[in-house]
Chains A and B, each alone.
Chain A
Amino acid sequence: MAELKILGIGVLSWMVFLPVLGMIIVLALPKSQTKAIKYIATGFMVLLMLISVYMLANFDSSKAGVNSLEGLQFVEKVTWIDVDFPAAMIGKIHIEYFLGADGLSFPMVLLTALIGFVGAVASFSVKKNEKGYYAMYLFLITGMMGTFVALDFFLFFVFWEIMLFPMYFLIGIWGGERRLYAAIKFFLYTLFGSVFMLIVMIALFFSSKDPQTGLHTFNLITLMNPQTFPPESFFGVLGNTWRLLAFAGLFIGFAIKVPVFPFHTWLPDAHVEAPTAISVILAGVLLKLGTYGLIRISFPIFPDAARYFMYPMAILAAINIIYGALCAMAQKDFKKLIAYSSISHMGYVLLGMASLTTIGMNGAIFQMFNHGTITAVMFLMVGVIYDRAHTRGLYDFGGLANKMPKYFAVTMIAFFASIGLPGLSAFISESFIFLGGFNNEMIRIVTIVSATGIILNAAYILWTVQRVFLGELPSKWDGLNDISGRELLSSVPLIVIIIVLGIYPSLFINLMSNSVTQLISFIMK
């Protein structure tokens, strides 16, 4: 249990609650000080990045974590709620403020800090009620960061839900035409999913019995220990119906966030209506919460059910990949195209996870990170063109390559990364995922079918390149300016990461490989 403190407060608490501090400062500023608000909020995100780099320097990747308390790093554990009931009723309700990081969550912490910064810079173009915007934005970061590092199910759930309402406001106030519809749809879908999560959470609480203390518990690490469930409890017998149902319930909760077909319909709406920076956050971090939840909660607590549902999950992943790609191909709106491509790419992540192999799981987590960076750039680029042309219609453009060469270069790198071109980061993760899929005999056929998604993916991306960048430039776009310094500032760091991780992926994979190995060996035991 390694600890790392700044000013006596654990580093993860800083990561989670610094944005709240920033929010309070932003709220205290007068409304007219828009510049100060923007810089302070961005400053806090820079601070978050610095802390995450400090953490990276202190991160010991040889420790696996996952289900062993000793392997966790930056742990903070304080009793939060402790209420005694007579033992025969429910005993003690003991909830902990329990944060920690390991190879599964740390990459996501890095991603959140990074995308959070990028989004803050991209938000400079917001022109309406900046104070409220940045306050909500910072609060959203808290919710996401908290979800990634919480190791107590109750705490996880609180963070998971807390992030809904800043998102609701961010889409609903600063969004596009149909923002009201998109915002409420997002909120209701996710809340519907969390109903099942809450039910499973309480069921887990009641069936658990901490082997050491003999109490019911929300502690995720304890819940991962099969001995926690006495044979007579709901979840006491491996592979029983309750466990399968609970896995399915959790899966619905997480799948809505990923989003997995058929729960995906909120995503295109939310993406299209959200302002650019929020689309970046949504695709870059928020969707990962769903898949992160699967590997942090569903798989380790219900390994038997994970094996049982391997095949259906792979099928859903394949549907996501192919259906998402086909939908992307049919879009006329640039943003919607990327939204559907997100669905398709999150399908790869799910496929890697469903393979239940070390290499597939490594690929899946790497793909989560890569999709975060790549899609963020793509949304930023859509934002750039939309700010200038006030349209996102793919057919409205043409020949932009000559008109906006820098823009063209950045976009092409992101596009090629998205296709999975060798030398760029997504190539590694996608090949890992498919390797993992092939290695698992059960889902080999599904993997082969899914692989056609790569071709579809290339098709819609290249077709988009053709429609937007090649050909004749319509005369109405003669006045378009190339990408500005601020816009480059938000996208270039991501581009650098995409290229560096494409050339030298071990940088990233080393961070998590031990944890993943531990997770897989634990699931397949």
Chain B
Amino acid sequence: MNNFTEIIKSINSFLPEISVIITLLLCLIADLIIRKKSPVVTIIAIAGLLVSAYFVYMQSAIQESLFSGMLVIDPFAVFFKYLFILSSIIILIFFEFSNEIKESTHKNEYSYLILSLVLGSFLMASSVNLLMMYLSLELASLTSYILAGYTKSEKKSSESSMKYLIYGAASSGIMLYGMSLLYGFTGSLDIYEISRYLSNNPTPNAFIYITMIMIAAGFGYKTSSVPFHFWTPDVYEGSPTPVTAFLAVTSSAAGFSIITRFFLTTFLGSTQIVDGAFSIIAGIHWQDIIIVISVASMIVGNFVAIWQKSLKRLLGYSSIAQGGYMLAGLVVADKIGLTAMLIYLSAYLFMNLGAFFVTILIVNKLGTDDIEKMKGLGYRMPFIGVAMSVFMLALSGIPATVGFIGKFYLVTALMKPGAGFLWFAIVLMLNSVVSLFFYLKVVKNMFLERAENTDELPGIKFSFQSYIVLILLLIPTIFFGLYFGPIVKLAESSAVFFGIK
């Protein structure tokens, strides 16, 4: 009976997920009844997500464990749930704008695929059990394979889905092996139990390192971090643009939520945070692994992006690098680092989705995302061009945009006295100088270069709604760059894990 009451009690706190599931089913049914071109299914999906957001809001101040310690609710998970809901609502709106999607006959099916990925991400953000982590990760991954390959007629799309699937299967297999090793050694799947075991029993270093690397492979694949990034550019290029945006923002944010929770909970020697710093079990230097992944992601992402000719590939490599920056926040392993990471994630949401929305609009009109073909485009669509420049400058971290705030807090966290990561801060900032080069390449082609016949080509007009969406993405990008108090406060209050004080 105890288990039963536990489940009943947990279901009360499981309402955000349940509302997503119900919405998903509603969308499935509605799709059968309603015309394919109508936006009703998208509207149902958005409404369902808003309902779910309400339930998430009800959990704001709660910290509790659900389903016999499978999942937890804490401010950290709540933050990510908001992030997933906001980004997927924006992306559902993107679907209505993208010709690539609208021309396909299964536009509505995207809605419930998105919803099921949101469900997976919700679970990823709150799972504290290795098995649950694996299952939620797989739920999210399987959906993304389908999403990536959904435009079946496109050869590139199928190819990218295939690559995604193979890399995904391999890395989740490796992760599962790592988890089973950890289970075999510690005798528990619960990460709090594992943490307790590891801090009380001496552990062979080599063993721990192997496990950590294997598990990092699975998570790193989700966050598209080097060296688990090989799928990223191909998949980003091959998928329909809104799906790319979804993978780059929502799905990788889910990856960050799980990698952060795993490392910051499993390897804690004590659940007391002293002076904002997490006390890591002596002798387990998991940060070393993250440092390598983070630095490699920044350098590879930024330097390879320089040579890209396709805008989507460029954004793909850029998101690898951005992921590297965010992991820097995890390396610091204290509350300020975690806060900085959450700030960066929120900044990343606005600026990256903005960049992808412009990409969607451009691909709609030009039919290609070749940067060389965008010469002089800024003169034919001035507002869109200016917006793109703002997003690009934000991504490279120029002040007065939200991107700078993210970088500022990351560097601040790295430079905190006693953290000893001054070199890391310098590497990060130098990387952002490199990144400026390729972000400006887009701006350069739109404004500085002119096609032979720029002046003769007619201006390109966009629908009123697309300007609205663009402005809604531009405002936070600039506003939070100038007045970042609220975003910092939100992130700071969200950097709280269940069971860790």
Contacts and interface: CB of A to CB of B under 8 A. Distances in A.
Contact of A85 (B336, B430, B433, B447): B336
9 contacts: A80-B483, A83-B488, A89-B416, A93-B488, A164-B398, A172-B447, A180-B449, A184-B440, A207-B417
Interface in B422-469: 422, 425-426, 429-430, 432-433, 436-437, 440, 444, 447-449
Contacts of A169: 447-448
B393 A165 contact: yes
A157 B448 contact: no
B276 interface: yes
Contact of B436 (A86, A90, A129, A188): A188
A359 to B, nearest CB: 37
A81 interface: yes
Contacts of B449: 180
Contacts of B382: 132
A180 B433 CA distance: 17
Nearest to A155: B399
A82 B275 CA distance: 20
Contacts of A448: none
Given A81-B485, A82-B485, A172-B444, A195 B430 contact: yes
A86 B444 contact: no
B448 A188 contact: no
Given A83-B489, A86-B276, A202-B415, A129 B379 contact: yes
Contact of B411 (A161, A184, A192, A199): A199
Interface string A74-89: 0000001111111011
Q: How large is the interface on B (under 10, 10 to 19, 20 to 34, 35 or more residues)?
A: 35 or more
A191 interface: yes
A86 B335 contact: yes
Nearest to A189: B433
B415 A203 contact: yes
B484 interface: yes
A24 B489 CA distance: 31
Contacts of A81: 483-485, 488
A233 B440 contact: no
A195 B440 contact: no
A183 B444 CA distance: 10
Interface in B391-415: 393, 398-400, 404, 408, 411-412, 415
A90 B412 contact: yes
A457 to B, nearest CB: 35
Given A89-B416, A173-B447, A188-B436, A161 B398 contact: yes
A416 interface: no
B17 interface: no
B454 to A, nearest CB: 11
Nearest to B430: A195
* Binding site secondary structure of chain B: helix
A124 interface: no
B31 interface: no
B429 A89 contact: no
A81 B492 CA distance: 14
Given A180-B448, A195-B426, A88 B276 contact: yes
B74 interface: no
Most buried by A among B382, B415, B422, B483: B415
B234 interface: no
B369 interface: no
Contacts of A90: 336, 412, 416
Interface string A57-97: 00000000000000000000000111111101110010000
* Binding site secondary structure of chain A: helix
A199 B422 contact: yes
Contacts of B485: 81-83
Contact of A187 (B336, B417, B440): B440
A207 B416 CA distance: 10
Contact of B426 (A129, A183, A188, A199): A199
A183 B447 CA distance: 12
Given A81-B483, A86-B276, A195-B429, A206 B416 contact: yes
B113 to A, nearest CB: 38
Nearest to B274: A88
Given A83-B492, A158-B399, A199-B426, A184 B335 contact: no
A432 interface: no
Nearest to A158: B399
B190 interface: no
A132 B386 CA distance: 11
Contacts of A183: 444, 448
Interface of A: 80-86, 88-90, 93, 129, 132, 157-158, 161-162, 164-165, 168-169, 172-173, 179-180, 183-184, 187-188, 191-192, 195, 198-199, 202-203, 205-207, 233-234
Nearest to A82: B485
Contact of A89 (B334, B404, B447): B334
Given A88-B275, A192-B433, A202 B411 contact: yes
Given A89-B334, A162-B400, A206-B416, A188 B433 contact: yes
Contacts of B276: 85-86, 88-89
A364 B78 CA distance: 57
Contacts of B422: 199
Nearest to B447: A173
A172 B443 CA distance: 10
Contact of A161 (B399, B483, B488): B399
Interface string B113-146: 0000000000000000000000000000000000
Given A86-B276, A162-B400, A183-B448, A198 B433 contact: no
Contacts of B335: 85-86, 89
A163 to B, nearest CB: 10
A181 to B, nearest CB: 11
Contacts of A191: 433, 436
B488 A195 contact: no
Contacts of A132: 382
Nearest to B488: A83
Nearest to A164: B398
A234 B417 contact: yes
Contacts of A180: 444, 448-449
Contacts of B339: 85
B404 to A, nearest CB: 8
Nearest to B379: A129
A161 B404 CA distance: 10
Contact of A188 (B334, B336, B437): B437
A365 to B, nearest CB: 27
Contacts of B416: 89-90, 206
Nearest to A131: B382
Contact of B448 (A85, A89, A179): A179
Contacts of B389: 165
A199 B429 contact: yes
B297 to A, nearest CB: 19
Contacts of A83: 485, 488-489, 492
B491 to A, nearest CB: 10
Given A83-B488, A85-B335, A187-B436, 6 more contacts: A85-B339, A168-B440, A169-B448, A172-B448, A173-B447, A203-B415
A381 to B, nearest CB: 28
A195 B415 CA distance: 13
B236 to A, nearest CB: 25
B447 A184 contact: no
A86 B275 CA distance: 8
Nearest to B276: A89
Contacts of B444: 172, 180, 183-184
Contacts of A172: 444, 447-448
Nearest to B441: A184
A93 B339 CA distance: 13
Contacts of A168: 440
Interface string B359-395: 0000000000000000000010010000001000100
A150 B449 CA distance: 35
A161 B415 CA distance: 21
B351 to A, nearest CB: 15
